[in-house]
Amino acid sequence: MADDEEVSSETEQLNDKQKLEIAKWFLLNSPAGEIQYVFKDLRTILKDDNVHNLAALEAFPQYNKSHMICLELPDRSSDVIITSFSEVAENEYLDPRTAQVAIVDHIKQACTEARPASDEELPSSYIEEFRCALDADIMKYVSEAYPKGVCAVYCVKGKDVEEPGSDFEFVVVISASRLSPQNFCNGSWRSIWNIEFNDEDQMVEIKGKLQVGAHYFEEGNVQLDANHECRDSTLLQNPEDSALAITNIIRQQETEYLASLEASYLKLPDTTFKDLRRKLPVTRTLFPWHSTMQFSLTRDIAKELTIRK
């Protein structure tokens, strides 16, 4: 009770702007799938509905886009990924696969309605041929690699190109999450791939940004936030061959990164966890954790027994 009163007293000493920034920080740094819980708890702490609602209005759109959450369209015909690449207007997000635009309630994290995309919001038929081919191969890869994973391919540059001779750019987004709050753990995978088609050099430049997040909170609070960037290239070919080559590169890069993460986890007991221990124990003598083979309890006991004989 005393701790609650102390927090309440400190909160009351802050002005509204400070409360707003602190509330937004907590919301934006919520682990995957947990912003609604944080939002609910903040109401109790702030005791100010105006600040609470304003923080939500500013933080939820940013959070939803950065976490690339997936929302079902009202008619359940498809899903739309909330990202800055799919945003066509405030609270409106394009699903290029079905050529629909979803109107989103960010705080409720739901699609309230949908409308057909206009011609200006869609790429030309030439660009769409490349986009559809890549989308089909990426969908196949994601279905194999990520349970309940979702993906989309957006044209972010040159969507009006009608024929060969000009550059254009796609963005591939892949989002997957496993939310199990009843088991005190949530996790997410997010990857963004910029695909630049360079007509002059007849090359495709590929840049990837990968992010893994995890939160375990059973009798504790442990979080993982890992990031990785990579790049590669391939020849510019026809839509089908280009799509296959790009997808293979994405598959290889993501598989290698996941393998490196797994390898680092196996080394945690011998490296990171030991580094977390007290650097200088009460004996004032550092313990050589990285050369523990020189110490042998069996040898020391045998030596002691020999001395006693």
* Spatial contact of 186 and 179, defined as CB atoms under 8 Å apart: yes
- The pLDDT value given to residue 82: 97
Is 101 among the domain residues? no
CA distances from 103 to 54, 59, 73, 251 (A): 20, 18, 9, 32
Query: Residue type for 145, please?
Result: A
Domain closes at, from 48, 66, 84: 66
Phi, psi of 118 (to 5 degrees): -80, 165
Same domain, 236 and 293: no
- The pLDDT value given to residue 155: 97
Nearest alpha-carbon partner for 249 in 172, 146, 175: 172
Same domain, 245 and 215: yes
Domain closes at, from 46, 66, 86: 66
- The pLDDT value given to residue 76: 85
Same domain, 174 and 153: yes
Residue with the bigger pLDDT between 275 and 90: it is: 90
Global pTM value: 0.83
Domain closes at, from 39, 66, 93: 66
Same domain, 238 and 156: yes
Q: Read off the pLDDT of residues 228-259 as tens digits, 9 standing for 90 and up.
A: 999 999 999 999 999 999 999 999 999 999 99
Same domain, 180 and 203: yes
Same domain, 206 and 296: no
Same domain, 144 and 214: yes
* Spatial contact of 124 and 162, defined as CB atoms under 8 Å apart: yes
Range of the domain at 127: 123-269
Q: Read off the pLDDT of residues 190-208 as tens digits, 9 standing for 90 and up.
A: 999 999 999 999 999 999 9
* Spatial contact of 122 and 159, defined as CB atoms under 8 Å apart: yes
Is 146 among the domain residues? yes
The arithmetic mean of pLDDT across residues 127-135, rounded, is 98
Is 283 among the domain residues? yes
- The pLDDT value given to residue 219: 79
Same domain, 151 and 259: yes
- The pLDDT value given to residue 281: 61
Residue with the bigger pLDDT between 252 and 288: it is: 252
Is 95 among the domain residues? no
The whole-angstrom separation of Cα 99 and Cα 93 is 10
CATH of the domain at 31: 3.30.1140.60
The arithmetic mean of pLDDT across residues 296-308, rounded, is 53
The arithmetic mean of pLDDT across residues 5-34, rounded, is 83
- The pLDDT value given to residue 309: 45
Is pLDDT of 299 > 70? no
Same domain, 14 and 57: yes
Same domain, 129 and 263: yes
CATH of the domain at 187: 3.90.1150.210
Is 76 among the domain residues? no
Is 113 among the domain residues? no
Q: How confident is the model at residue 308 (pLDDT cuts 50, 70, 90)?
A: very low
Q: Read off the pLDDT of residues 95-112 as tens digits, 9 standing for 90 and up.
A: 999 999 999 999 999 999
- The pLDDT value given to residue 300: 56
Per the structure, how many domains does the chain have? 3
Percentage of the chain surpassing pLDDT 90? 72
Is 98 among the domain residues? no
Same domain, 288 and 219: no
Q: In terms of C-beta density within 10 A (0-12 exposed, 13-18 middle, 19 or more buried), how is residue 136 classed?
A: middle
**Residue whose tokens read 């987004």:** 173
Residue with the bigger pLDDT between 287 and 220: it is: 220
Is 216 among the domain residues? yes
Percentage of the chain surpassing pLDDT 70? 83
Same domain, 196 and 238: yes
